[in-house]
Structure 1
Amino acid sequence: MTRRTYVLDLLVVLLFALAGRASHDRGVDPLGVLETGWPFLVGTAVGWIAAAFVPRPMRSWWLEGIVVAVSALVVGMLLRWSMGEGTALPFVLVATGVLVVGLVGWRAVEAALARRA
């Protein structure tokens, strides 16, 4: 993974936290966004580590994206649950959609642009 990968993944997760806070009128101050997003940021980092263990012949942009997205979601929700934060089904479904589309989506766009070049 490149530095760009890490930055874009972090941006996706932070925008997810920002949007969630904004939609629930919780304020969008940077510390509040970090407070909301930290479980998913930890999960994203776990995903980066897990993706590094995928054997080279199997590595691809989409598999990397799925590994990072699933890790961000599962670890993030487990951390939220362990802290007594909400993990209601509608939130889990929205988080699943946003994280998968965001973390796999930017990779898909990048892969498509690379093929065109």
Structure 2
Amino acid sequence: MRSYTPLLALVADLICVLVFVVVGKTDHATGLGPAEVAATAWPFLAALALGWVVTLAWRSPGRIWPTGVLVWAVTVAGAMPLRLLSGEGAPASFVVVTALFLAATMLGWRAVALLVSRRKRQTTV
């Protein structure tokens, strides 16, 4: 494994969360200034950091199972109570959309990376 792989994987997960936040803020026209984005993003970013720590994701950051699934689950499950504590809502529809979007992106980039690495191995054999 290359030494920069965990950093790239973390950045990919961060981008997934930030894209989710920006798309949501755009759809709901709630402001895209740095303060508005940060106020919405922090529960997800904190939960993502927790997910990385509890799963030791840096050891195998590109694996879909268990790393990707567990980081995704902790991110979604951890962000919801933090949103509620900060005065934001977390209705069931929001939780479903959050879970689906983050699953598609956080697991999706890992699936693409896996396919690319397999293809590279096949062409070098």
Q: TM-score, normalised by structure 2?
A: 0.84
1:34-63: CA deviation from partner (whole Å, max 9, x where unpaired): 11111000010000011118xx8x997112
Greater displacement, 21-30 / 41-50: 21-30
AA aligned to 1:19 is V
Give the 4+ runs in structure 1 shifted more than 3 A.
Answer: none
The 3-state SS of whatever aligns with 1:28 is coil
The 3-state SS of whatever aligns with 1:2 is helix
1:7-32: CA deviation from partner (whole Å, max 9, x where unpaired): 11100000100011000001222221
Aligned pairs for 1:21-100 (under 5 A) are 21-52=25-56, 61-62=63-64, 63-100=66-103
Rg larger in 1 or in 2?
A: 2
Greater displacement, 14-23 / 79-88: 79-88
Q: Provide the residue aligned with 1:15 in structure 2.
A: 19
Q: Provide the residue aligned with 1:4 in structure 2.
A: 8
Q: How many pairs does the alignment contain? A: 114
Q: Provide the residue aligned with 1:102 in structure 2.
A: 105
1:82-103: CA deviation from partner (whole Å, max 9, x where unpaired): 2221111110100010111111
The 3-state SS of whatever aligns with 2:90 is coil
Q: Is the 8 A contact 1:14 1:34 kept in 2?
A: no
CA RMSD of aligned residues (A): 1.9
The 3-state SS of whatever aligns with 2:12 is helix
Where structure 2 has 5 or more consecutive residues not aligned to the other structure, the ranges are 121-125
- Aligned mates of 1:85, 1:13 — CA distance in 2: 17
Matched residues, percent identical? 34
Q: TM-score, normalised by structure 1?
A: 0.89
Deviation at 1:66, TM superposition (A): 0.7
- Aligned mates of 1:60, 1:80 — CA distance in 2: 28
Deviation at 1:78, TM superposition (A): 0.9
